[in-house]
Every structure is written in structure tokens, then in C-alpha cells.
Amino acid sequence: MKTTITILAFLCLSLVGFSQTNTITLVQKFSDCAPVTQRLIQENFSTQQRIDLEIDTRKLAKLNYVMAQSYRFADNQMVLRSQRQLFNAQSYESYRKKDRRVTVFDSTTGLYVELYSWNEMDVQLSKIDVQYDIVSSK
């Protein structure tokens, strides 16, 4: 039975991994987050809030998705690693549309960024929930 559950969990996690961004990973600690997420958390969260996020890894994974994976840099641009780390997706939450992507110009990075729709984000956040539900059921 344990082997069956392990195989099913692996298959589900594999399917979830091949999502729209191919980058959803199981976040278990702060250092598993993308560099941009780490920077934004350090700048905007208190020490206690960071400790709480380390305890609630599901919430940390969702925050990592929003800060690092809920958008993509528009095509035909050279994007430096330093520019990726400077972008703050939360600054553009009010620009997102329910059912379509929106492209915005970010003056901090000098890049055009395509924001995923709220519907796309909901799907990905649900997939993160599924991942953590599977892991917690072991």
C-alpha cells in the first residue's frame, strides 16, 4: 500500500511539474525559493513573518509562485539575471485581468513583462495545493 501511494504521489507530482511554466517545485524552506522571492521577502517581511513562512511551506510555495513564476518576460528581449531579480510582480497586481494576459513595461528593469491572468494563477495555485496535499498524506 505504501509503495502504491508513493508511486501515485510521484506520478501526480510529475504531471504537476509539467505545467504552464515547468518550474513549480516543492518549496520546503526559504532557500528553495527563487532569488527574486528571497529578496522581496527579506525586504518586505518582518523576522516573525519569515519564520511563519518557513513553518507554512505551502504558503511559502504560493508566495514564491506569485513573486517568481506568475509572469514571464516578453519575447525578443535580452533579460539579465540581475533584471529578473529586480522585478516585483506584486507592484502590478492591479493590472492583471481575470481571463487574459497583460503586458506591462517595468521601468525598474526596463523590460516588458507578460502577467499571467488571474484564472491561470488560480490553476497554478491549485496545483501547488495538490502537491502539498499529496506530500502531507504520506
pLDDT tier at 6, thresholds 50, 70, 90: very low
Which residue, 138, 79, 64, is CA-closest to 114? 79
CA distance 110 to 119: 27
pTM of the model: 0.79
pLDDT value at 8 more than 50: no
Tens digit of each residue's pLDDT (9 = 90 or more) over 73-94? 999 999 999 999 999 999 999 9
The secondary element (H helix, E strand) that includes residue 122 is helix 118-136
CA distance 7 to 12: 9
| Contacts for 74 with CB less than 8 Å, ≥ 6 apart | 103, 111, 112, 113, 114
Number of domains in the chain: 1
Q: Which domain holds residue 70?
A: 2-136
What pLDDT is stored for residue 134 in this prediction?
Answer: 87
